[in-house]
Structure 1
Amino acid sequence: MIKHCWSILCQNIITDAETNVVSYIITIDNIMAPEFPAKIPFLAIGTSWEKDTGYDVVENFAIRIIAINPRGKAKTLVETGDLAVQSHRHRMNFVLNGFAFDEPGISRFTIEAKINGLWLAAASLPVLVAASQIQTAGTPSMMRQ
């Protein structure tokens, strides 16, 4: 069976072509925005999965990423088709550049896996989005309450 290992929300994901080593650049857990909607130019989610069956067994699963705003409204961002996995570990990375947060508060990216025909929650990545005042000359920046 396929099992979720971990997921991360970050600005960018770089995979070295020679070594297959992955770098997750600037982890994100909060965002300051001067206005809403706040469009984020660089946003990515990296996920890691493992299979507990032997190498000769192919496991199938799908991944879905859902954005949930502070009021609980959900929007599906990504839904893969069936993925056939034979290796012990499997990485899936998703680029969400240009994603817009509509309002301040705690939003979540929920990662789900479809295993044996059922969607199961695998992870929830919270991000605090706060409103910031636009700084003018001589005035310190402050967060709005």
Structure 2
Amino acid sequence: MTGSSAPARPARPAVAPVGRIFAIVALAEAVTWAGLLLGMALKYGPVGTETGVWLFGRLHGGVFVAYVVMVVVAAVVLRWRWWVALLALVCSIPPLVTVPLEIWLRRTGRLARRGMFTSASSGGPLSQDDTDTLVDVDPAP
């Protein structure tokens, strides 16, 4: 066979402004978690300094609150199902899990508004990799 090519993947919807802010806050939450872990290693390690815990504890506390607020805002604006919002909240507890969550949300189109689920190039609806159903915002005339 010559000239065979892989089937084209459907284009992913553009990330909504709220989705971008959510992604930034999710990354900041993971970075401050990593800083807090480093601070704890310095505190209980051979150095014995509390400076890292003092600094990153405060930073992580503030970013954690911002993350929880952004989950609620994103869930309402982007019309997430209840279990997606709950999963996003649970992912804030273990260290660094908000990064893979954000990647999954982006790949499944959940960082785009529900009305943005049409491809500009093909004009057709986009598919999701899971069982979540999509409803067209603008019904056909």
* TM-score computed with the length of structure 2 as normaliser: 0.26
Relative contact order (C-alpha < 8 Å, sep 6+): which is higher?
2
* TM-score computed with the length of structure 1 as normaliser: 0.26
Q: Which has the higher strand share?
A: 1
